[in-house]
Amino acid sequence: MKRINFIIVLLFAFSLYLQAQIREVKLKFVETSDVHGNYYPYNFIEDKAWNGSLARVHAFVEKKREIYKDNLILVDNGDILQGQPTAYYYNFIDTVSIHLTADMMNYMGYNVGNMGNHDVETGHAVYDRWIKECNFPVLGANIVRVSDGTPYLKPYEIIVRDGVKIAILGMITPAIPTWLPEALWQGLRFDDMEETAKKWMTIIKEKENPDIIVGLFHAGKDAVRVADKYNENASVSIARNIPGFDFLFIGHDHLRNCFKVANIEGDSVLIMDPGSRAGVVSNVDVKLTLKDGKVIDKRISGVLSNVDKYGVSEEFMKKFTPQYDVVKAFVSKKIGTFTHAISTKPAYFGPAAFIDFIHKIQLNLTKADISFTAPLSYDAEIPGGDIEVRDMFNLYKYENMLYTMRMSGKEVKGFLEMSYAMWTNQMKSADDHILLLKETLGSDETYFFKNFSFNFDSAAGIIYTVDVTKPEGEKITIVSMADGTPFDENKMYKVAMNSYRGNGGGELLTKGAGIPQDELKSRIISSTSKDLRYFMMNYIEDKGILNPQSLNQWKFIPEDWAKMASERDYKLLFGEK
């Protein structure tokens, strides 16, 4: 009997020993990306409640922290400093208080941040201040000082939870020089993501020997070559070609994704993208089995979680009500009056008051010969009556500077040829679409533009026609300058455009006009020191009452085909006549 009891004690002790040597660790990772200033459950631009927001993300995270405690890792993947007036106000108006974005992220307990291109767009003074005020590292392995080749930001962060070592490598899409003025990223360069990942993967493995390696990449799913120089959206390529990543958090393209790919060694890599505006988060569970402190089994799964069902965090709202009130007062300030409403909708089918209002301001500010601009929002409207600061974010979506550039008449025509080729179909009959559309089949047929509407530039300052029956290269006929004087393809003109376009964004200057990317900087005659929206607000305040009208300086031909096709396509896009 004593012998049996002894054996039972030994077995029990052995089982305890095994349990002590083999244990399971559960971790949860949550990613936000492309928040674009959506901190509150309220749209300051449209003056209405809406879904998503950091207030709802906080409610979701706090619920999960009840289970995971410190084993929940919260990360942001960039483009958080631009979009809503909340960000704009603390970027450029109140530059003394702690930046609202840093304050909120600290309160929410973010562990890691990452830089996005729209964060860089705010300029050194803004993002350097924000980074300094964050109680966590903001990463950027491929953001490099030109002076000495060292990383401008921390390349990766090491986090240890329950004996598990986690490495998070952060990178940004490198095509920023084709979108943003150099003044905003002075002294920096943006290296290729895949080359950078290969370099730092070796360093991380050799120096840190982590149990989990996570990529936090402000770059999307489908790789494209920009300006024949930059690989944009290289995330999936990295997952396939650089072994070592357990999973990637991606962003930038605003496309929700949750899928796995196999890398070149045959290992599975989970890729998560929550889309934009904090309506959905990437939600990853990692379960590890450890023996003698070493990982012997690793299970990784992920889902996209809608945060709306978790409600709004009352604690969050209470904490940040004073800032909410300040921003609401800012956007509610009256700056002028429009005699009637203007919308981007007509701008796809001909000259429109909305776009031509921007043309007029650009020409007024620069005294240029010609102006280029596009609808920056697919479907925006400025109401008639009192115009408030909030309306300016509908009128002009981004914080672009205004450039004046030198272009030949031939380059102006090439620019417009490419723009309208991205925008309009080559009609073979009166029954064809006038616009380049793509159709989504389902229970309801839905139509969208094939290309981004923010690249649909029209011109002012010249009189021209667009023949929708012709291919690219033959669509545009420039009749004269707007004052009736001859247009000369061999003459150099002063052309006003936003800084995104002037730096090569959309490639209308490089591929369309045929100006080499490296030559664009030398073509800039002048640039505003503040964003174009700032000057637009001043213009409206100065005029007081405005009656925006179309300039009617261009038209589609043949006019009968264009009229019928425009009516059909307008209804397909907007569901109305």
Q: What is the pLDDT of residue 18?
A: 47
**What pLDDT is stored for residue 21 in this prediction?**
78
pLDDT value, residue 184:
97
- What's the predicted TM-score (pTM) here? 0.93
Of 230, 316, 274, which Cα lies nearest the Cα of 78? 274
Band of the pLDDT at 38, cuts 50, 70, 90?
A: very high
pLDDT recorded at residue 2: 57
Distance from C-alpha of 311 to C-alpha of 303, rounded to nearest angstrom: 19
DSSP 3-state of 306: strand
**Least-confidence region, from 1-15, 32-46, 436-450:** 1-15
6 pLDDT higher than 80:
no
| pLDDT for residue 369 is more than 50 | yes
- Torsion over CA of 334, 339, 344 and 347, rounded to 10 degrees? -150
**What local confidence, expressed as pLDDT, does residue 442 receive?**
56
pLDDT at 446: 83
* pLDDT tens figures, 378-426: 999 999 999 999 999 999 999 999 999 999 999 999 999 999 999 999 9
pLDDT at residue 212 greater than cutoff 70:
yes
Q: What is the arithmetic mean of pLDDT over 183-207?
A: 98
Mean pLDDT, range 531-551, rounded to an integer: 96
Mean pLDDT of the residues in the chain: 95
Is residue 499 a contact partner of residue 530, using CB atoms and an 8 Å limit? no
Residue 209 has pLDDT above 80, yes or no: yes
Write down the pLDDT at residue 228: 86
- pLDDT over threshold 90, residue 163: yes
Angle between helices 353-366 and 532-543 (to 10 degrees): 100
Q: What is the pLDDT of residues 68-104, one digit of tens each?
A: 999 999 999 999 999 999 999 999 999 999 999 999 9
Q: How many whole angstroms separate alpha carbon 354 and alpha carbon 357?
A: 5
Sign of the CA dihedral running 317, 323, 329, 331: negative
Task: For helices 100-108 and 124-133, give the axis angle rounded to 10 degrees.
Answer: 30
Chain centre to alpha carbon of residue 446: 24
pLDDT single digits (tens) 543-561: 999 999 999 999 999 999 9
**pLDDT of res. 485:** 98
Furthest-apart CA atoms within the chain: distance in Å: 115
